[in-house]
Amino acid sequence: MSYLDKIFGNNKLTKLKIVSYTDIERTKGGKVVEAMFNPETLSHKFTTKWDKKPGIGQSGQALKYTFNPPMEMKLKLVLDKQTTIKEDLTNFLNNTWKVEGKIHQPYYLTLKWGGIIFPCRLGSVDIKYTRFDRNGNPTAAELDIVLLGDDEDKRRILRENFSSPDLTHLRIVRNGDTLPLLCQDIYGDSCYYPVVALANDLDDFRNLQPGIKLYFPPLT
């Protein structure tokens, strides 16, 4: 399923949730921040970093691809209650921005809404208080949130599936695969199989079990 299929492929009316985890695989934790009101708009930003190389003459520059930075997602959440919103705001910050003592960094996050499942980290949040009670306590606020895409390395590598020998690769072994043939396919030279065997702690590289994942380090 493509990225856009995930966005447009579900018409269920659900509340937007941001789920926090203590591990990058997003299996431990599972604390939930649920939006009081779903955002009216949600935007994504895709960028590409290019290295500018001098072109022929003085007027042109050749662009060389370097990498794709994490995708950004921007949205606005509204907090609006008759009483103070302190508890709701504290819950949001504790689960998205505050440093968690066990992992010494803020939580790993996943935004879930309809067909969207977006692994991310909090980039920033701007809080604008829009209403106060008689004692000066805020009872309404707008949160302008920026979330940065945060893929686990294994998922990212499998998704990009680059074939250049200077990049890290993961492969799932299939029937008939041998380590020299896999090295020939990835590096263009089968002689690197001892390096790959060492990187994967393989005791017997001649008998690869179908279904296992092998790590192919970048050539230096």
Please check the confidence at residue 12 and state whether its pLDDT lies above 70.
no
Dihedrals φ, ψ of 12, to 5°? -70, 140
pLDDT of 90 reads 96
Among left, alpha and beta (phi > 0; psi -120 to 50; other), residue 136 is left
User: Bigger pLDDT: 10 or 14?
Assistant: 14
Does the CA dihedral 202-208-214-219 come out positive or negative? positive
Segment 119-178, tens digit of pLDDT: 999 999 999 999 999 999 999 999 999 999 987 555 555 455 555 666 667 888 888 888
pTM of the model: 0.64
Segment among 5-19, 32-46, 77-91, 134-148 with least mean pLDDT? 5-19
Q: Which residue has the tokens 């393989």?
A: 202
Please check the confidence at residue 25 and state whether its pLDDT lies above 90.
no
Residues 112, 93: Cα–Cα separation, whole Å: 18
